[in-house]
Structure 1
Amino acid sequence: MATATVYDPIEDDARIAPALIRYLGDGDYVTRRYVSRGAEMNTGDYFDHPMPVRDGMPIRDHFTLDTHGFMLGKWAPPLEDFGDTDAVNALYNADVERAVAALTGASFVAAQGWMIRTSADLSARAQEQVENYQHVGGIQPPAGEAHIDYNPLTGERAGARVYAERRPDGPGYRRHCCFSFWRTFSPGPQDWPLAVMDGRSVVGDETANNTLFVVDRFPEGDALTAPVADEDQRIAASIFRHRAAHRWWYFSNMAADDVLLFKFYDSDHSVTWRCPHTAFHDTSLPDAQTRSSIEVRCIAYWE
């Protein structure tokens, strides 16, 4: 029987923001995530559960990647206007690679593209007709449920594929870790900040695969869950059912040079190797502002 995690007493006095965290229900579902321009949707039934979210900002230096699955660092942005797509494309990925290497000690980092998320109304954008939608370099709503972007199979395959593509003459690697590099660029406090779960509080029996489908338009009716060949081999996230033991954190009033780095998948399972996360509506602070954030998926390698 696994022993219960003993958490550091420094965490006991953290301010708590009451929150509703959305989890997958306990039913038997075909679980898929469809994404299109300005909109995302899941199959299955999801339910909001009241959960405390602790504010880690006063003890920001306490959190480490290999203990909690996330950390908050400092890294000045290379540009002021994240609405300038050309500038973001030209500057941001390379800067993220430098930052992740510095924060983790990895010998090689490959960024995989950026996405802006905002709590502003995107309904008009979602109604625009698109063809051959690409789920990168755009604007999407905040994530709405407890999840990790990669399940273990996706994390292993992404590590091998990206290394072969980006470093074909490299010496090989002994460890890789898939991350999100996340920052806000709207003033705090944000109305829908990002919450991250202490990865040690994952019970282990609450996960399900959520297969990704990037589409121009959402299917309807039975087409949402119609059988797809080899679905278990496609890119998929991990989604979570509610467990009372889950331990959530966030960092209030993040500034532009605050960067939240958290794990999707670490091939080293001797440390905390994954970090569930989701947005939540923070009603605990006055004068909340519309959230705007930018995230980059990246993979760090230790050769």
Structure 2
Amino acid sequence: MCEKSLLVNGGIEKHHVNTTFNYWDDPGDGSKPTPIIIGGGRISNKRPHNAHKFLVTDITGEEENYSLDSHGFQYCRHTSAEKDFVDEQAIQATYYEECRQLLKEVTGARQVHIFNHKVRRGPTQWHHLGFSNLANRGPVTRTHVDQSYRGAELRLRWEFPGEADELVQRRYQIINVWRPIATILKDPIATADAGSVPDDDLVAAEMTEDGFKGEQWVVRHNPDHRWYYKHRLTPEEVLLIKCFDSDSSVAQRSLHSAFEDPVHRDGISRQSIEVRCLVLHAD
């Protein structure tokens, strides 16, 4: 069940963070971003990025003011029967179904199709660990959206090749269900208000994962982007991140990225799981 925040009037100490986010280093010559390749136990990500300063606003106690349709992200209180997330069969048998039911309740969708998940327990700089670095997958510290508008349709057609022509005529979404495995202190995740990010800031970039050639958004720096997070997010809470919505009358996508909280820079590595879902509507 997606409950409203239990934190209400007063007594809430905010933990806003002055930090940096890594934005794509646009060469300015019209060239495309370097492709990412994931497979064979490793990820190759050599896109150049630059760090830019931002304030990340802690929305603890105000979670109900932010929703998938208004901002592109939403926090929910939700307890899972799964606690450790080390057994792949248990994740797919138990946790997948919990995520399906949660998203149906939140969005009113008729069907939720899960196409993959990622467990992260590795160090911040895991991309530089060399071969088999996926075994030590850690946080993604670069601003991005998992699918571009074109990439969302590519994923839909990959997952539903026989039904895609019909499905694209209806509303569909891609939403990530992001959950802490342990309370988040180091490398928390932030999401940007969709309304603060114009499409002109987004650049399509190729990403191939296990044979699927998709397309995501990388991001040009814009000081007007507004970033939000919830301090000390617990395993009894989830963050829903909208990567795509075919309904252009609502927030269609939210940038997201892990970021460094200087207070917890030297803490133990973050543990989290994200489940990536195609959310299909009746009309």
Q: TM-score, normalised by structure 2?
A: 0.83
Task: List structure 1 runs of 4+ shifted beyond 6 angstroms.
Answer: 170-173
Q: Of the candidates 58, 61, 82, which is equivalent to residue 58 of structure 1? A: 61
Q: Of the candidates 166, 174, 185, which is equivalent to residue 178 of structure 1? A: 174
- The residue identity in structure 2 corresponding to 1:75 is H
Q: Which residue of 2 aligns with 1:239?
A: 218
| Secondary structure class of the residue paired with 1:65 | coil
Q: Does 1:145 align with 2:124?
A: no
Q: Does 1:22 align with 2:22?
A: yes
Distance between the aligned counterparts of 2:61 and 2:266, measured in 1? 20
Q: Which residue of 1 aligns with 2:10?
A: none
Relative to 1, partners in 2 of residues 1:196 and 1:268: Cα closer, same or farther, differing over 3 Å? same
Q: Does 1:298 align with 2:277?
A: yes
Deviation at 1:101, TM superposition (A): 0.8
| Secondary structure class of the residue paired with 2:62 | helix
| Secondary structure class of the residue paired with 2:199 | coil
Deviation at 1:211, TM superposition (A): 0.7
* Structure 1, 80-89 or 27-36: larger mean CA deviation: 27-36
Q: Which residue of 2 aligns with 1:223?
A: none
Relative to 1, partners in 2 of residues 1:120 and 1:196: Cα closer, same or farther, differing over 3 Å? same
Q: Do 2:190 and 2:259's aligned partners in 1 also have CA atoms closer than 8 Å?
A: yes
Q: Of the candidates 240, 248, 251, which is equivalent to residue 227 of structure 2? A: 248
Q: Do 1:194 and 1:280's aligned partners in 2 also have CA atoms closer than 8 Å?
A: yes
- The residue identity in structure 2 corresponding to 1:103 is V
Q: Do 1:19 and 1:51's aligned partners in 2 also have CA atoms closer than 8 Å?
A: yes
Structure 2 unaligned runs (5+)? Answer: 1-12
Relative to 1, partners in 2 of residues 1:160 and 1:127: Cα closer, same or farther, differing over 3 Å? closer
Q: Of the candidates 242, 247, 253, which is equivalent to residue 268 of structure 1? A: 247
Q: TM-score, normalised by structure 1?
A: 0.77
Superposed CA offset, 1:91-141 (max 9, x none): 2212211111112111111111211113437869955569xxxx8xx6522
- What count of residue pairs does the alignment treat as equivalent? 266
Superposed CA offset, 1:244-266 (max 9, x none): 11000111111112010011110
**Aligned runs of 1:122-271 on 2, under 5 Å?**
126-127=129-130, 140-163=137-160, 174-188=170-184, 190-214=185-209, 234-271=213-250
Distance between the aligned counterparts of 1:41 and 1:53, measured in 2? 28
Distance between the aligned counterparts of 1:128 and 1:78, measured in 2? 34
- The residue identity in structure 2 corresponding to 1:93 is Y
Q: Do 1:111 and 1:296's aligned partners in 2 also have CA atoms closer than 8 Å?
A: yes
Distance between the aligned counterparts of 1:266 and 1:139, measured in 2? 31
| Secondary structure class of the residue paired with 2:98 | helix
Distance between the aligned counterparts of 1:237 and 1:124, measured in 2? 18
Distance between the aligned counterparts of 1:201 and 1:125, measured in 2? 32
Q: Which residue of 1 aligns with 2:70?
A: 67
| Secondary structure class of the residue paired with 1:54 | strand
Structure 1 unaligned runs (5+)? Answer: 1-12, 217-232
Distance between the aligned counterparts of 2:90 and 2:128, measured in 1? 22
Distance between the aligned counterparts of 1:196 and 1:104, measured in 2? 19
Distance between the aligned counterparts of 2:236 and 2:265, measured in 1? 22
